[in-house]
Amino acid sequence: MQTLFGASQTAKEGADLAFTDPLTGLGNQRRFFDKVDRLIADRADDPAPFAVGIIDLDGFKPINDLFGHEAGDDILIQVALRLRAAMDSHSAVTRVGADEFAFLYPMVFSEEAATEKSKMLIEILSAPYDVGERTARLSASVGCSLFYSGDETTEVLVRKAESALYQAKRSGRGRVVVYTREMEEAAKRMTRIEQALRRAVSAGEVEPHFQPIVDLKTRRTIGFETLARWTDRDLGFVSPVVFIPIAEERGIIGQLSQLVLRKATEAARAWPDDLFLSFNLSPSQLVDQNTGQHILNILHRTGFDPGRLEIEITETGLMSDPASAEKIVADLRRVGIRVSLDDFGTGQSSLGRLREFQFDKLKIDRAFVASILDDRPSEHIIRAILAMCEGLGMDVVAEGIEQEAQADKLVQFGCGGGQGYLFGKPANADATLGYLRDAFRGASHVAA
Ligand code: C2E
Ligand code: MG
Ligand code: MG
């Protein structure tokens, strides 16, 4: 067979090449899997743990862009040399992706030891690299997992190490995360919740609850925020803080959201028709161009006036794909649906966002409201937000009001709307109707 080297190749050389990374000369992904497979087989009778890990270079792409591909390759070769030099006679390191390396430590038996070894590798990789006349610096993140029992396959170990690496990356640069038994338990629990949630959504068992939003000065109810509630047969009550992120991550959020919006708009038809209904959209729904159409279909089917619907989105929701979010928001506003910016002041608040996007309303996060009475900075921040909203012509709702004194202060600063346990906790559709009958006693427009 003709090769790059122009010579004919023996079968052994061919096999070696298939297991070798041509750039660095280290083993490749196949070699890594092969080594771990063999070690698992060796440990069949002697179940001593061992560790595998994946190293990912932080910020390698910008370096490649800055110094050029040749220099990038040169750095990868230096990385490989350093890693190889750091291995003892039992251990192995291979290159498994563009800027990813995997190691195998047969004699590392504990999570602590795996962390120690990984930290050492990160340190070795963070010394400067010569690139011609210049020097470059890199950091690296590591995810590890340990083999504990014969039940684990190479694929499982690698998947756990990848999941640990993902967490390491997410928590910043230069970190090590070892996949622990607690993480395994948490992952299992998540899967249990996911399965129960899929069933519950198909069976229509997630319910909308409604929390009043009031005009702070008059205390009159002006609308309700829809909050999803789910009590599973086996798991019991599960908070939306737990199940909404799982629904997002596992692709159930669209279906869940449609179910809750349908039920919510059906319930809200019985309310006085000057009350609005507010509904939360998740970040992943702002990436899906079908979201707008799904909402409109539901409004059409339930006969709910789009002019009474408000959609709450967070800044995180705008960030992953601003162009897509902007299009969805524009589509919704065109048919008269109002759009609020939820949880303002936490997360990655960017005032620039308020110029790019048109919002009808802003909701001040309850963290500020909670400290308004005893914290001068919170007070100033709230006043600044209120002044800004006035200038931009946006309505404001302060979230999480629990005390009279907080409400008084907000009125004094000129905040128009309020929401919180002080005015009412989230309640189901029937209880909400009861609340409205009391609040609007004598008014004939609350359906009997
Ligand atoms: P959020 O949209 O910021 O909703 C306000 C949260 O604050 C609700 O929590 C509400 O019960 C709570 N809250 C309201 N007043 C007070 C108060 O005075 N004190 C305190 N301590 N808390 C108060 P909940 O219902 O647990 O919902 C949490 C989050 O889950 C919501 O935050 C929202 O982001 C999300 N969520 C809930 N339902 C849905 C849904 O149907 N779809 C989507 N995408 N997200 C939802
Ligand atoms: Mg909300
Ligand atoms: Mg909120």
pLDDT tens sequence across 153-173 = 999 999 999 999 999 998 888
Which residue's alpha carbon is at the smallest distance from atom 17 of ligand 1?
400
Q: List, for residues 332-352, the tens digit of each pLDDT value.
A: 999 999 999 999 987 666 777
Question: CATH 3.30.70.270 residue ranges in the chain?
Answer: 13-179
The pocket around ligand 1, CB under 6 angstroms, is made up of 211, 226-228, 239-241, 244, 257, 260, 280-282, 312, 342-343, 366, 400-402, 419-421, 426
Identify the CATH number of the domain defined by range 13-179: 3.30.70.270
State residue 5's pLDDT score. 43
* Ligand 3 centre distance from Cα of residue 399 (Å): 6
Residue 210 β-bridge partners: 226, 427
* Ligand 2 centre distance from Cα of residue 51 (Å): 43
0.75 exceeded by pTM: yes
How far out from the chain centre does Cα 294 lie? 23
Give, in order, the Cα–Cα distances in Å from 183 to each of 124, 164, 189, 227, 335.
Answer: 28, 9, 10, 29, 45
Confidence of residue 15 (pLDDT cuts 50, 70, 90): low
* Ligand 2 centre distance from Cα of residue 277 (Å): 11
Which residue's alpha carbon is at the smallest distance from atom 19 of ligand 1?
400
* Ligand 1 centre distance from Cα of residue 423 (Å): 15
Rounded average pLDDT over 17-39: 95
Q: 405 is written with which tokens?
A: 């004194």
Q: List, for residues 371-422, the tens digit of each pLDDT value.
A: 999 888 889 999 999 999 999 999 999 999 999 999 999 999 999 999 999 9
State residue 445's pLDDT score. 54
State residue 442's pLDDT score. 55
- Start-to-end C-alpha separation, the chain: 85
Question: CATH 3.20.20.450 residue ranges in the chain?
Answer: 190-439
The rounded distance, in Å, linking the Cα atoms of 128 and 139 is 10
Residues in the chain, how many? 448
Residue 20 β-bridge partners: 27
* Ligand 3 centre distance from Cα of residue 310 (Å): 13
User: Which residues have CB less than 5 Å away from ligand 3 (the ion)?
Assistant: 342-343, 399
190-439, CATH topology level: TIM Barrel (3.20.20)
Q: Ligand 1 atom closest to Cα of 365?
A: 3
Which residue's alpha carbon is at the smallest distance from atom 21 of ligand 1?
400
Which residue's alpha carbon is at the smallest distance from atom 41 of ligand 1?
228
Amino acid code (one letter) for 209: H
The candidate with the shortest Cα–Cα distance to 18, out of 32, 38, 39, is 32
State residue 10's pLDDT score. 67
State residue 446's pLDDT score. 58
